[in-house]
A = this chain, B = another copy of it.
Amino acid sequence: MDNPIPPARQEYYDRIGRDDLAPLWEVLKTIVPREPKSSARAKLWRWNEVKPLLLEAGRVITAEEAERRVLVLENPAYRGQSRATPTIYAGLQLILPGEVARAHRHVAGAIRFILEGEGAYTAVDGERTAMHPGDFVITPSWTWHDHGHTGTEPVIWLDGLDLPIVNFFECAFLEHHEEEIYPQKKPQDDSLGRYAASMLPLEPESDSPNSPIINYRYDRSREALARIARHAAHDAVHGFRLRYAHPRTGGWPTPTMGGILSLLPKGFAGAPARQTDGQIVVCVEGRGRTEIGGQWFDWGPKDVFIVPNWTRFRHEAAEESVLFTLSDRPAQERLNIWREGRG
């Protein structure tokens, strides 16, 4: 639309504009692009730079003042918007020994991936779970949850929430519990042990699309990954990988966000690919680098990086490495708009 608009046409536009009408033909190419061009930017946060800043937050503000002591990972393209990708909020949360984050619930669902430290727990609808590095913990939409710390060292985890999705659809609700800590209703780590046996109650349960497992422990996930690496062939782009699953449906653990754990063998040089979901990637073990939109990013343990939607990427691993990926692929699949391209 480079040509200037003729005056008669402009007069028409002004006139219809007064009734909140606009000519589609002037914007058609903009709103219906030929392919996605992500508004996000690639970015990597180094653990050894971020961790000191986070610990400093523990001194700058009390847990009580902060409610949640979190540094938001803001995509450089969206400063001030609390988004790591177009659709996911991500942050690094710090909890210190003795602190408690009080019980509440909100429509936004959360996924936590534990980065460092022992002794903290999270509780979901009255079931508490101890969190260990590498654990994948969910606090599904509209479940009561609170955190606490009965140990001796700082604990840090990655938070991913579908806040931008819930806010885009204008569906956000929040409620605080009358008690600081939601009453405990089940033994600690109850779901963990029960679902590991692949057995279910006979009595009708919830048909929630959210997984009843609140903690997928790293020791088990890592073992499952090692197991498939012993006999399956690896994927040219992704290495060996497994996704966290809902034990009653086989689907993703939440309807909007999901997690994948990948094992890249030492020396792995992945083929390039693109996918429409925006990825937040954590290096869990190992060392390597990823090319994102033409730029290489080196990574080591606990570094976090962003692969924007439909941006070409490829992974290389100098050592055997494990990557955790959080994305909105479940939401995109449910809306039937997810797509990937190889090459």
Residues of A within 8 A of B (CB): 8-9, 12, 15-17, 19-25, 27-28, 31-36, 38-40, 43, 45, 49-50, 53, 56-57, 60-61, 65-76, 79-80, 82, 86-87, 89, 91, 106-108, 141, 163, 165-175, 185-187, 190, 193-203, 208-211, 213, 216, 220-221, 223-225, 227-228, 230-232, 235, 238, 241-250, 255-256, 260-261, 276, 278, 309-310, 328, 331-332, 334-339
Contacts of A75 in B (CB 8 A): 20
Q: Is the CB of B335 within 8 A of A169?
A: yes
Question: Of B53, B70, B255, which contacts A336 at CB under 8 A?
Answer: B255
A342 to chain B, nearest CB (A): 13
Contacts of A187 in B (CB 8 A): 227, 230-231
A150 to chain B, nearest CB (A): 21
Q: How far is the CA of A115 from the CA of B283 in the complex (A)?
A: 46
Q: Is the CB of B243 within 8 A of A200?
A: yes
Question: Of B27, B227, B247, which contacts A245 at CB under 8 A?
Answer: B247
Q: Is the CB of B167 within 8 A of A196?
A: no
Question: Of B60, B203, B243, B331, which contacts A202 at CB under 8 A?
Answer: B243
Q: How far is the CA of A65 from the CA of B332 in the complex (A)?
A: 34
Q: Is the CB of B61 within 8 A of A19?
A: no
A293 to chain B, nearest CB (A): 14
